[in-house]
């Protein structure tokens, strides 16, 4: 009788355990499929590890044991140093942090539609990775996600990205261009630091602050900081050694410490009347700086708090640009508004020739604090008599 009671108690305990612990979490540790280790969670397969012996092209299966593969876990392929290509099925909806960390021979990988985030360290130090196509389902790129991808030359960015994390593309030294979508609202500290081959960048209208975002981007020659950026933080453009001209649109209130220090070729700066302070060494060692165009009055200029070690800025010629001296749209100052002026606007929009100072004011015929193709079209229509004034 006692033995029967004991057996019943054991059976009852087992039943209660099954009621408390989901079946999906039982007996899934250590499951193997080829070079992959996996677990089954909530009816989906999660790839948790890959054998160190894996090499060459690796294809993650769409299904294992009649269950769809839905996720790649944190560190799953981390330090797999002989894999050159990974094919991920469209069923995968989640990639864990550091999932492909230090896959130093990985050259090619696809990211499936449905991913919403590329987490921190996901592809950190994938030194051979050459290109990445980020699907439009992705809205967030985590901290250091692509840091030190030294061979990365091409990035197709999702149009729906809202956040790019700290040092996300730090030291991606071969990237020449990258498009940032209009939905982007946050750019993390040092996001594009040391992208030394980056030749142009268009800062979108969403973020309100930059911090070291483009420091040591030593191939940038012209930059426009749009009106939505209120604070240009420390080291934002530090060490952009061939930068020749930069325009801060109306709306910028603060340029912080060392923001443009060691921009050795900087010759022209346009500053807004909204500017309240310039931090210490913001323009340190910018010894080629000759012209500062201030879109305000002498009185407004004198009210700006300027930190120490900004001699290049203070020694430059300050041009006070408070009102146009000739007809709006006459960018080259020849007292005519014609197709030449429209062409100058178009060159500005593709950052071929950056307009500064009074020319920038003349170019903004729509008076919306932006210089774009709409201004060029307005100038052309005015020049041929289609509209009476601009």
**What is the DSSP track for 301-341?**
HHTSEE-SS-HHHHHSEEEE--S-SS-TT-TTSSS--SHHH
Q: Tokens in use for 199?
A: 């030749």
Is 70 exceeded by the pLDDT of residue 1? no
389 Cβ contact list (under 8 Å, min separation 6): 382
If you average pLDDT over residues 316-344, what whole number do you get?
84
Burial 2-16 (b: 16+ CB within 10 A, else e): eeeeeeeeeeeeeee
Is 90 exceeded by the pLDDT of residue 266? yes
If you average pLDDT over residues 234-254, what whole number do you get?
97
Distance CA 329, CA 377 (A): 11
Is 90 exceeded by the pLDDT of residue 3? no
If you average pLDDT over residues 205-213, what whole number do you get?
96
13 Cβ contact list (under 8 Å, min separation 6): none
Pairing of strands 83-87, 56-59: parallel
Written as one string, the DSSP assignment of 205-238 is SS-SEESSTTTT-TT--EEEE-TT--EE-TTTTT
HSE-CB for 132 with a 13 A CA cutoff: 26
Which domains are assigned to the chain? 29-74+84-95 (no CATH), 111-207 (3.80.10.10), 212-322 (3.80.10.10), 339-383 (no CATH)
Is 90 exceeded by the pLDDT of residue 280? yes
If you average pLDDT over residues 145-153, what whole number do you get?
98
Q: Where are the alpha helices (DSSP H) in 155-303?
A: 298-302
If you average pLDDT over residues 37-47, what whole number do you get?
97
Is 50 exceeded by the pLDDT of residue 75? yes
Is 50 exceeded by the pLDDT of residue 220? yes
pLDDT band at 324 (very low <50, low <70, confident <90, very high): low
Is 60 exceeded by the pLDDT of residue 2? no
Q: Is 252 exposed, middle or buried, given 0-12, 13-18 or 19+ CB atoms closer than 10 A?
A: buried
Q: Tokens in use for 328?
A: 């709006």
Record the pTM: 0.79
- Per residue in 286-311, pLDDT (tens digit) is 999 999 999 999 999 999 999 999 99
Question: Looking at residue 342, what DSSP letter applies?
Answer: H
Is 60 exceeded by the pLDDT of residue 6? no
If you average pLDDT over residues 352-369, what whole number do you get?
81
Instruction: Please count the other Cβ atoms lying within 10 Å of the Cβ belonging to residue 323.
Output: 7
Q: Is 388 exposed, middle or buried, given 0-12, 13-18 or 19+ CB atoms closer than 10 A?
A: exposed
Distance CA 256, CA 294 (A): 17
pLDDT at 28 (0 to 100): 55
3-class DSSP state of 349? helix
3-class DSSP state of 374? helix
State how far the alpha carbon of 308 is from the alpha carbons of 339, 346, 372, in Å: 45, 38, 36
Q: Tokens in use for 1?
A: 């009788």
If you average pLDDT over residues 38-56, what whole number do you get?
96
pLDDT at 226 (0 to 100): 95
HSE-CB for 29 with a 13 A CA cutoff: 1
285 conformational bin, left if phi > 0, alpha if psi -120 to 50, beta if neither: left
């Amino acid at each position: 009788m006692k033995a029967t009671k004991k057996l019943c108690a054991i059976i009852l305990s087992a039943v209660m355990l099954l009621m408390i612990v989901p079946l999906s979490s039982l007996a899934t540790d250590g499951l193997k499929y080829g070079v992959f280790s996996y677990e089954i969670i909530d009816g989906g397969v999660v790839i948790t590890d890959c054998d160190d012996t894996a090499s060459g092209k690796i294809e993650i299966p769409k299904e294992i044991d009649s269950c769809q593969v839905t996720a790649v876990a944190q560190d799953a392929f981390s330090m797999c140093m002989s894999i050159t290509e990974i094919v991920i099925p469209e069923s995968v909806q989640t990639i864990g942090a550091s999932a492909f960390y230090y896959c130093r021979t990985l050259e090619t990988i696809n990211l499936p539609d449905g991913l919403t985030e590329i987490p921190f360290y996901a592809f950190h130090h994938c030194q051979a990775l050459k290109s990445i196509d980020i699907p439009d389902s992705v809205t967030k790129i985590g901290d250091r996600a692509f840091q030190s991808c030294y061979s990365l030359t091409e990035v197709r960015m999702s149009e729906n990205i809202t956040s790019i994390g700290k040092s996300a593309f730090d030291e991606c030294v071969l990237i020449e261009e990258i498009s940032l979508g209009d939905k982007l609202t946050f750019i993390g500290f040092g996001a594009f630091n040391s992208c030394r081959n980056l030749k142009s960048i268009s800062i979108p209208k969403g973020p309100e602050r930059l911090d070291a975002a483009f420091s040591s981007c030593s191939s940038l020659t012209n930059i426009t900081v749009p009106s939505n950026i209120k604070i240009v933080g420390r080291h934002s453009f530090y060490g952009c050694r061939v930068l020749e001209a930069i325009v801060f649109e109306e709306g910028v209130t603060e340029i912080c410490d060392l923001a443009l220090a060691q921009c050795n070729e900087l010759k022209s700066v346009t500053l807004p009347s909204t500017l309240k302070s310039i931090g210490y060494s913001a323009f340190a060692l910018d010894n080629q700086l000759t012209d500062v165009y201030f879109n305000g009055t002498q009185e407004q200029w004198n009210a700006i708090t300027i930190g120490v070690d900004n001699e290049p800025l203070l020694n430059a010629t300050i041009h006070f640009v408070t009102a146009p001296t000739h007809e709006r749209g006459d960018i080259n100052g020849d007292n005519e508004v014609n197709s030449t002026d429209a062409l100058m606007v178009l060159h500005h929009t593709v950052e071929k020739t950056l307009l500064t100072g009074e020319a920038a004011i003349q170019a903004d015929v729509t008076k919306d604090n932006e210089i774009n193709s709409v201004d060029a079209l307005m100038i052309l229509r005015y020049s041929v008599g289609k509209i009476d004034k601009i």
